[in-house]
Structure 1
Amino acid sequence: MTLTQEQLIASHKANLETLFGLTNKTFEGVEKLVELNVAASRAALNEAAAHAQAVLSAKDVQQLLALQASQFQPLAEKVASYGRQLYEIASGTTAEFSRAFEAQAAEVQRNVDSLLDSAAKNAPAGTETSVAVLKSAVSAANNAFESVQKAVKQASTVAEANMNAMASNASRQTATAAAAATAAAQGKR
């Protein structure tokens, strides 16, 4: 089986389209990341200015301690939110790459299967065993590849669940610490 010039051109065209598509997805991910960081920086600057004003207007140490303690919970929630948004951007971009990779792998698998079928039809008599062994090896490689894909997807799911659990736990612990600090500040009055 020989490849024609049209088949080669079509293959190169499809590969270029995939490359440019993935490049665009990468830039979209970077744009989202920049937007997230600009928004977070702007919010942090505004909050720092407001907090500085509040600190300067504190009348005594207890009021200052209560003000400081009241900042723990919102800060922890913002950090957790930022982490979730960052994870969403990264996982979305990674998902695009995974889909493209899976599509390319499926195309390669179809081409290999077609090549093997053509080779089996045109093989000389007595080589059926060799062709069957080759087909079996390709099938085993495909099964191994699918197993690895499933394992990676499961690991991604576990990582996402762990991240959500850690964010929730950190938020609860910060709320507890903030409540304790507020109570301690109010107890000193």
Structure 2
Amino acid sequence: MITTPEKLAATNKAAVESLLGVSAAAVASAERLAALNLNTARALIEDSMSSIKALSEAKDPQAFLAVQQSLVQPGTGKLVAYYRGVYEIATQNQEEITRLLETRFAELNKDLNAALEAAAKSAPAGSDVAIAAVKSALAAANATYDNVTKATRQVVDITEANVTNATTAAVKAVDAVTKQTRKSA
């Protein structure tokens, strides 16, 4: 329970600072994503121009096919690198926001425990049971939060492993198709 205007102001200030931290993390993530997109677009234009030039210099259909096949593997690698970059930005943003929110949750939990202790000291006789029930509910909520956080981290770890495996498999598949196409040509 907030008993003084100073405590209310401090609580409001902490909430605003948390919100500003989350906003700053989101803006930083958007900036990094925009930079990745611009760099990717620039590289795509440059690669397209050099590809068009190489294809236009082909003297016969077989040379044209050979040039075309030679462009597949680097393009796939760049596409995979782009998606990895997007995934890393999203993951880092999620981790930063989670860290900020966990910090704020811990502060709120500490404040609530302090308020309960203060209430217990000034509570009338016989209210021990009610205060113990609130403390028990708070402990259960904290345990549930910890379990959800652990489960979420496990899901994130599994997802990252699956994305890495899928990316590796996709690159290997493209390499195999490219090699097979070269052999048959």
Q: Which moved more, 1:18-27 or 1:48-57?
A: 18-27
Q: Give the percent of matched residue pairs that are identical in Structure 1 and Structure 2.
A: 34
Q: Which moved more, 1:21-30 or 1:157-166?
A: 21-30
- Cα distance in 2 for residues equivalent to 1:109 and 1:116: 11
In the alignment, structure 1 segments of 5+ residues that lack a partner are none
1:93 alignment counterpart: 93
Q: Which moved more, 1:65-74 or 1:44-53?
A: 65-74
Matches within 5 A, 1:20-99: 20-99=20-99
Residues 45-91 of structure 1: CA deviation (Å, up to 9, x unaligned): 11111110111111111111111111221111111111111111111
- Cα distance in 2 for residues equivalent to 1:182 and 1:92: 40
1:162 alignment counterpart: 162
Residues 115-143 of structure 1: CA deviation (Å, up to 9, x unaligned): 22222222322332332222111111110
Q: How many residues align?
A: 185
Q: Is the 8 A contact 2:69 2:178 kept in 1?
A: yes
Matches within 5 A, 1:98-137: 98-137=98-137
Q: Is the 8 A contact 1:29 1:93 kept in 2?
A: yes
Higher relative contact order (CA 8 A, sep 6+): 1
- Cα distance in 2 for residues equivalent to 1:106 and 1:62: 66
TM-score for the superposition, normalised by structure 1: 0.92
2:176 alignment counterpart: 176
In the alignment, structure 2 segments of 5+ residues that lack a partner are none
Q: Which moved more, 1:148-157 or 1:66-75?
A: 66-75
1:70 aligned counterpart, secondary structure: helix
How far off its partner does 1:20 sit? 2.0
- Cα distance in 1 for residues equivalent to 2:147 and 2:2: 32
Residues 7-53 of structure 1: CA deviation (Å, up to 9, x unaligned): 22222222222222222221111111111001100111111111101
2:18 alignment counterpart: 18
TM-score for the superposition, normalised by structure 2: 0.94
Distance 1:16 1:2, change over 3 A: closer
- Cα distance in 2 for residues equivalent to 1:18 and 1:26: 12
Distance 1:132 1:10, change over 3 A: closer
- Cα distance in 1 for residues equivalent to 2:88 and 2:182: 34
Letter in 1 for 2:83: G
Q: Is the 8 A contact 2:76 2:171 kept in 1?
A: yes
- Pairwise CA RMSD of aligned residues? 1.4
How far off its partner does 1:2 sit? 4.3
Q: Is the 8 A contact 1:70 1:182 kept in 2?
A: no
Q: Is the 8 A contact 1:22 1:97 kept in 2?
A: yes
2:59 aligned counterpart, secondary structure: coil
Distance 1:72 1:9, change over 3 A: same
Distance 1:2 1:11, change over 3 A: closer
